[in-house]
Amino acid sequence: MKPIIGVTALYDEGKTSIWMLPGYLDGIAQAGGIPVILPLHAEDSDADALLRAVDGLLFTGGHDVDPALYGEEPIVECGPACPARDAVERRFFEKAMAVDMPVFGICRGLQLFNALLGGTLYQDIPAQFSESAVVHGRPAPGGAASHKVSILKNSPLYELMDTERITVNSYHHQGVRTLAPGLLPAAIAEDGLVEAIYAPHKAYLRAVQWHPEFDFETDEHSRKLFRDFVQACTGKK
């Protein structure tokens, strides 16, 4: 039976609508999973029921993570947060961690994992990490390559990719400042910013700062990320 993967919903304040980029769903489906979009609100018992129905969770990109999650006040350059997303995704994440359910984070997902596990973020890379010459935030999301990342040899990402260096797309202005206890870097950009993470003490907690949902149809590295996650959700890893 195909694994069922819960996918965190995107939210548009201007249209007051819940929505989804097809790449998240299609990437999972192409890798052999069944994607389902999770609600933006879920009480504790509802979250329990939802997690019993899925085999893994994909945490999507989108809004900035509220700096309150890592004990800071927002700076001027910090983008808008979505309290509903922060609340429900925190609930889903903590419950998934309690049962060691496979989780995979993309962009905001990586930042959220780090914040919830005790790390901190650059609220705005250009403002707080100005010495960086790497362009992390492209004008618009897409599959175009942005910059290179180095994959650390002792990481599961290196085992998956079997290479020390790949070129990734990039669309973010926040990033890991202090890595949370229990997390390890799997890839770093040329400026030293953490671009991928994993938790060695968990069955499967992985996240990348770039966007495989935009280029998995043309990029084998992105397809590998989706396949690896879906395989982990089958319990066969």
Given a contact cutoff of 8 angstroms between Cβ atoms, the answer to whether 151 and 187 are in contact is yes
Which among 7, 10, 99, 86 is positioned nearest to 48, based on CA atoms? Answer: 99
Q: What are the catalytic residues? A: 107, 211, 213
The share of the chain scoring above pLDDT 90, in percent, equals 87
Specify the higher pLDDT residue, 136 or 141: 136
Number of structural domains in the chain: 1
- Give residue-wise pLDDT tens across range 161-181: 999 999 999 888 999 999 999
Which among 179, 115, 168, 177 is positioned nearest to 145, based on CA atoms? Answer: 168
Residue 92 has pLDDT above 60, yes or no: yes
Domain extent at residue 51: 4-233
- Give residue-wise pLDDT tens across range 180-207: 999 999 999 999 999 999 999 999 999 9
Q: What is the pLDDT of residue 235?
A: 76
Confidence of residue 141 (pLDDT cuts 50, 70, 90): low
Residue 91 has pLDDT above 50, yes or no: yes
The residue assigned the tokens 């290196």 is 158
Q: What is the pLDDT of residue 123?
A: 97
Confidence of residue 142 (pLDDT cuts 50, 70, 90): low
Taking every pair of Cα atoms in the chain, the longest distance, rounded to a whole number of angstroms, is 49
How far apart are the C-alpha atoms of 55 and 5, rounded to whole Å?
6
Q: What is the pLDDT of residue 59?
A: 98
Query: What CATH number does the domain containing 44 carry?
Result: 3.40.50.880
Alpha helices in 168-237 (DSSP H): 212-215, 220-233
Q: Give the predicted TM-score (pTM) of the model.
A: 0.96
